[in-house]
Structure formats: C-alpha cells, structure tokens
Amino acid sequence: MARDPRYDVLFEPVKIGPVTARNRFYQVPHCNGMGHAMPRSLAAMRGMKAEGGWGVVCTEEVEIHAKSDISPFHEGRLWDDGDIGGLALMTDAVHKHGSLAGIELQFHGPTSDNHYSREVAMGPSHSVVSNYEPAQARAMTKADIRDYRGWHRKAALRAREAGFDIVYVYAGHDLALPHHFLQKRRNHRTDEYGGSLENRARLLRELIVETKEAVGDTCAVAVRFAVDEMMGPDGMTAEGEGREVIEMLAELPDLWDVNVSDWPNDSQTSRFSEEGFQERYIGFVKKLTTKPVVVVGRYTSPDAMVSLVKRGIADFIGAARPSIADPFLPKKIEEGRPDDIRECIGCNICVSGDYTITPIRCTQNPTMGEEWRKGWHPEIITGKGSETSVLVVGAGPAGLECARALGQRGYRVSLAEAGEALGGRVTLESKLPGLAAWGRVRDYRDYQIGKMTNVEVFRASRMGAAEVCEFGAAEVVIATGATWRRDGVGRQHPFPVPGFDRPNVLTPDDIMAGRLPPSPVVVYDDDHYYMAGVIAEKLRAAGIAVTVVTPAYGVSVWTTNTLEFKAIQGRLLKLGVEIVAHREITAFHGDRVETACVHSERPSDIACAGLVTVTSRLPEDSLYQALVGDSAALKAAGIARVTAIGDCLAPGTIAAAVYAGHRYARELDGPDLGDVPFKRERVALTG
C-alpha cells in the first residue's frame, strides 16, 4: 500500500549538526536491563529498531567513569577503551539499516551508589546518596570538576571511536551531574559553579562546548534536559529556570531532547496520563532555538505526530515505549498500513526489566529482548512445520496471541471463546479506572486475526472435554485463564483466612462482573500489583467508603517497578481512601475485620460492611485436567497433545500470558531446544 501523503512530513530528512537523520522517528535513550552485561542482546534489540525505520536509535544511559557506577543495574558502560567494542556492536547494527546511533553519556554524581567500584560518590555539594543507602556523596572540588570534564571529553572520543553519530550531554531525570549542578536544592556552592543560574549552568555550558570541540566536526552534540521537574519552585519549571536554561544555551548544542523529570514523571503510565501529556511543559522550547527539538509523550498515532511537527512543537517524534511495543512503527506508517501498529498500552512492564535487572519485556511485543537470545523478529516468523491443525480454547491475551502467531505461521487454527467478547482479562480490566488503553492488547490481535483466512474464531463457544474431543484438532491449546481466590490464601496466608467464606466477601472478578460491596468496605491487598489499588479507586468513585489493608508498606507495592507506586498512593489518598499498611487480616466477622501488625502482632479491628479480597489467583484448568486425565479419549479423538498456557498454567502478568501464547506458536513443530531454550552471553575469561 502507498503511504498516506498526510504523513510525508514524518519521512523528511532532518539535519542535526554535521549528521542527517533519514526521517523524524527518534528512539530516545531508554534502559533495558541488558546494558553492558549483554552487549549482543542489546545490539540486536537496537538494530531491530533501525530495521523497523527509526531514523535515530540511542543507547540507554552510559556510565563514563567508575566513579559513576550504578550497579547492580545493567546500564551502558564506557569506563575505558575496553568498553568500546561492546558498544560498537550496537552502532554496527544500527548503521546496517541506514539509521544514526546516539549515545547518552552519563555521570550520576550523588545519585550513584558506586556499589561495584566502591568509589566515593561526588556531587555539587555534600549530600546523601539515593535509595536510603547509608552513604554520602562529597562536594566536588574545582580539581574534581576539571577531572570530570576530562572524563566526559575522553568518553566522547571513545563514543566516536565506537561509531556513534550523536553524542549526548545528559542533564535530565534528576540523575545526571549537570542537572544536579543546575538545581538550587542540590547545588549550595559559593564559587563560580553555584549561586546564580548562570553559575549553576556553567558546567553544562562547558560540557557542551568541550564535547563539540572534541567530536563536533563529525558527531552531533545533543543535550537531554528536563525543563520541568514537576515539583514547583523547588525545581526547574517550564515557566522559570527550565525556560531560562534553554534561553541561555539555545544555539549551543546541535539538538535539544527535552522532557520532564524525574523518571516516574517522564514515563507516566496510561493510568495517569494521556498521549502527548508532556506538550504543556515542553511546548515552548522550539520557539527559543533554531536547533532541532525532540519530544516524547507515548505517541502512537501518526496524526498526533504530524500535528507536533506542523504546529512547530517538535522536529523529531521521540519515543521509547512506542518503539518497544512496535519497533516497526515507522515502517508501518511508511508502507501505508498504520492500522497494523502494535500500540503501546502504557503499562510500564518494560521498565520492570530495568528494575529487576533482567532483559526488557513488553506486554504488547513478546519478542522484545528476545531478538538475539531466541532469534525472534517482531514481524517475521518461520512458516508452519506441518499440516497439523490447532484448537486454541480461550481468547484472552494468551489464546489470542497464540492463535495470531500460529495463523501467521500458516497453520489452520480454531479459536474457541466461551464469551461473546474476545480479550479475556484485558477486556474486563480495561473497564476499570485508568486501564482503557489495555484493550489494545486485544484490539491489535483481533484485527490481525480478522485478516487471516486460516484462523477461525468461535465466540460464545464454551468448550468441555467432549466438545474438544469432537472438534478433531491434533493439537489442543488450553488458555482458559484464572480466577481470583476467595479464601484469602496468598503471600501472607498459606491457609484460608477464617470468615472469608461469608457472602459479603467479594473478589475482583465479582467487581468486574458488576457487583458492588456495601459501604464501608475493606479491600485487602496481599497481591501487591495494580489490582487492589484500581478496585479501591473504582469503589470510591461509586461513593463507597474504602479502607485498604495490606501487609506491605503501601498499596500495590510492586508498582515501584512500573514507576507508579507514588502516584497510586497519592491518587488513593486524594480520593479519601484510607491506607492501613503493615497489617494482615486474621479474620472477618461479617461486620469487622480483625487485623494484626505484621511486625509486632498487635491486634486491632476495623469495622466494615463488606470485604474485597485481592490476594492470589487459581488457574481455571478444569478443562485441561479433564483432557489430560483421559488419555484413551484423547487417543480416540486423534489429539496428539494438550498444552496449558498463560494464566491457566500459572497466573501471572498479561505480558507473561502474551509471551506464553507467542512461545507456543514459535515452538510448534520446532526442534527440541534442550535444557536452556535460549542463547546466553557468557562472561569472557579475560581481564
């Protein structure tokens, strides 16, 4: 199909100092949990973005010195010449597809703990380091500042040697030393690097000038700067010092990559912000500079992208998450098939890879992070290995992705769903407050399957063992999901909690089916991901008085891994939800819960008219068990194999269910992958 001419502007080349990007699609720096520890995996992932049409592909933050070591996290590393080779793998992979490679040079200062290097952290002034570490950063002397500028210069030269086209001076996210020098709250110096904004911006100015002197003849020098820290006058603001910094340095770099700070503010989930939410902060930047400007805001709509350029807000559409969910987003627009874009749902499961120090994963894109170790391509899959036919039972995220990917391979697939609607849990959960975008998990797959003549969908078709046997497919996949437990068993309780069998105990499944508990209600969060917080929000909106009780230190604590924890507590408290942390529920008496402090066991009661328990789930695997328990019936029906996938095997994230469906489809008729079904990057025994 031909490209829609409305989108032509997105494919114009743009000059950035001495280099030229082939289009306006710009993958901004983003973490990925692989970093210096997995250079081949990283290179393959970045190369995939270039293949998919991103005109610029950047690294994550790359530490430039052992004094800025953020172990145990896996970020990039360019401490000495020995690190050049690993990064060159990435620039090669990006250049192979005609894109530019950018590197974000990073020195944390007081926000690095230096666990591995055991160096003393340093910053503009004496200060504590991050993360409750029992350590402090020391104030830098002028000699330290000179040293740091030298390290930055050396890193820029090494970056050029590694093949990078764009070299960043990084002053964002409240994580980078030049940003810390700019901040009144961190910079208490009385010399020429402290005091007035001009003095606090001195270091940033020097770094831009010196990086240009070092590599500016062949590399573009970009600045990533957070114009607003979303903390009012204590930080940079778009109306105040953030704006003044841009005014002051407007023409100095070759490119401005602007956003808000800190990371949770920059990478807000769809639960808390809409596409383009940063425009109100960064909208002014392009008016103050002639240099190209990159902005972000979870853009997945080509119309919104065009509008950004036409209205003079940005020259480049910056993206981390949209490029993770769909590395081929630009190509799909270019080829006139924007409806094929796998839109980011804004859930931040991708961020959890960085936080758990494991390769990046994505709810929408099951191949993310698997490009090298499994050889998975987001758009290409090998053809079918046999003429076998497959019946997939259950059209939640696992079943839908399984049917889609099997269909793409060319198999004859039947997808049977008990309900009228497809999507399983995402269809139900997307009706909860703030989660509407999650429906995209279903929509992308529903649309793709709709185009396939070899995949047949049967709605309103609840399958029992007899129906499955009658169906006559050789391969049967059971993806029938899971249900929330009612008995309280979860992390805190290995056994059912007394009184949880009362009629006024509801589960999230009941709430999603439209039932509401009486007011006041206690919501018990022993699950710790998003569900209890979202349920509390829904009940509060229905006018019900809500207290959330949790053995953890807050509601939905796992969402620290998706950058949402603080925003969730804030939203619930503002809605008037009471949060009772560090307490388990030991019994429910119909009109009150008995609780105990998890540290001291001190008891206390909370009066309530109902209880919603959010603890753990049980697989809905009765069909699977019935089938595998009757091998004679399977044999008679010609069923070669029955496989349970997704929540039906073990309840987990939506990302895990999509991955399970995809994996089944990839591996059907494939070779035995052995004990470790992926390649590993082993440590080379040199040094």
Binding site for ligand SF4 (CB under 6 A): 321, 324-325, 344-350, 362-364
Residues in the chain: 687
Closest among 33, 49, 649 to 329, alpha carbons compared: 49
Rounded to 5 degrees, φ, ψ at 8 are -55, -40
Q: Contact 390/340 with Cβ under 8 angstroms?
A: no
Among 100, 395, 441, 511, binds ligand ADP (CB under 6 A): 395
For 664, the token pair is 């089944």
Q: Least distance to ligand SF4 from the beta carbon of 348, Å?
A: 5
Q: Least distance to ligand SF4 from the beta carbon of 430, Å?
A: 13
> CA dist 476 to 256, 456, 507, Å?
53, 14, 30
Q: Least distance to ligand SF4 from the beta carbon of 350, Å?
A: 3
Q: Which does 648 bind (CB under 5 to 8 A by kind): ligand ADP, ligand SF4, none?
A: ligand ADP
In the set 69, 262, 266, 487, the catalytic residue is 266
Is 527 a known active-site residue?
no
Q: Which is nearer to ligand SF4, 347 or 627 (CB)?
A: 347
Size of the site for ligand ADP (CB under 6 A): 25
Q: Which does 363 bind (CB under 5 to 8 A by kind): ligand ADP, ligand SF4, none?
A: ligand SF4
- Does residue 418 touch ligand ADP according to CB under 6 A? yes
- Does residue 425 touch ligand ADP according to CB under 6 A? yes
Q: Which does 647 bind (CB under 5 to 8 A by kind): ligand SF4, ligand ADP, none?
A: ligand ADP
Q: Which does 417 bind (CB under 5 to 8 A by kind): ligand SF4, ligand ADP, none?
A: ligand ADP
Q: Least distance to ligand SF4 from the beta carbon of 320, Å?
A: 8
In the set 26, 148, 168, 170, the catalytic residue is 170
Among 105, 155, 329, 463, binds ligand ADP (CB under 6 A): 463
Q: Is the dihedral of CA 325, 87, 100, 52 positive or negative?
A: negative
Closest among 444, 391, 445 to 641, alpha carbons compared: 391
Q: Which does 393 bind (CB under 5 to 8 A by kind): ligand SF4, ligand ADP, none?
A: ligand ADP
Q: Contact 287/317 with Cβ under 8 angstroms?
A: no
Q: Measured between alpha carbons, how far is 553 from 608 in angstroms, rounded to an integer?
A: 22
Is 179 a known active-site residue?
no
Q: Contact 199/224 with Cβ under 8 angstroms?
A: no
Strand (E) or helix (H) holding 262: none
Q: Which does 364 bind (CB under 5 to 8 A by kind): ligand ADP, ligand SF4, none?
A: ligand SF4
> CA dist 430 to 347, 390, 416, 445, 618, Å?
12, 29, 21, 15, 21
The secondary structure of 438-467 as a DSSP string is GGHHHHHHHHHHHT-TTEEEE-S----HHH
In the set 65, 152, 173, 662, the catalytic residue is 173
Is 339 a known active-site residue?
no
Is 170 a known active-site residue?
yes
In the set 30, 31, 257, 443, the catalytic residue is 31
Q: Which is nearer to ligand ADP, 293 or 463 (CB)?
A: 463
Q: Measured between alpha carbons, how far is 368 from 454 in angstroms, rounded to an integer?
A: 26
The footprint of ligand ADP on residues 587-626 (CB under 6 A) is: 620, 623
Q: Which does 348 bind (CB under 5 to 8 A by kind): ligand SF4, ligand ADP, none?
A: ligand SF4
Q: Least distance to ligand SF4 from the beta carbon of 351, Å?
A: 7
Residue 647, preceding peptide bond in cis (omega within 30° of 0): no
Q: Least distance to ligand ADP from the beta carbon of 43, Å?
A: 32
Q: Least distance to ligand SF4 from the beta carbon of 296, Å?
A: 13
- Does residue 432 touch ligand ADP according to CB under 6 A? no
Q: Which is nearer to ligand SF4, 293 or 368 (CB)?
A: 368
> Residue 183 class from Cβ within 10 Å (0-12 exposed, 13-18 middle, 19+ buried)?
middle
Rounded to 5 degrees, φ, ψ at 559 are -70, 0
For 24, the token pair is 């306006």
Q: Measured between alpha carbons, how far is 631 from 641 in angstroms, rounded to an integer?
A: 10
Tell how strand 220-228 and strand 293-295 pair up: unpaired
Residue 517, preceding peptide bond in cis (omega within 30° of 0): no
- Does residue 396 touch ligand ADP according to CB under 6 A? yes
- Does residue 648 touch ligand ADP according to CB under 6 A? yes
For 322, the token pair is 């949209």
Q: Least distance to ligand ADP from the beta carbon of 250, Å?
A: 50
> CA dist 375 to 350, 396, 404, 621, 678, Å?
19, 26, 19, 31, 9
Residues acting as catalytic residues: 31, 170, 173, 266
Residue numbers at the binding site for ligand ADP (CB under 6 A): 393-399, 416-419, 424-425, 462-463, 479-482, 620, 623, 646-648, 657
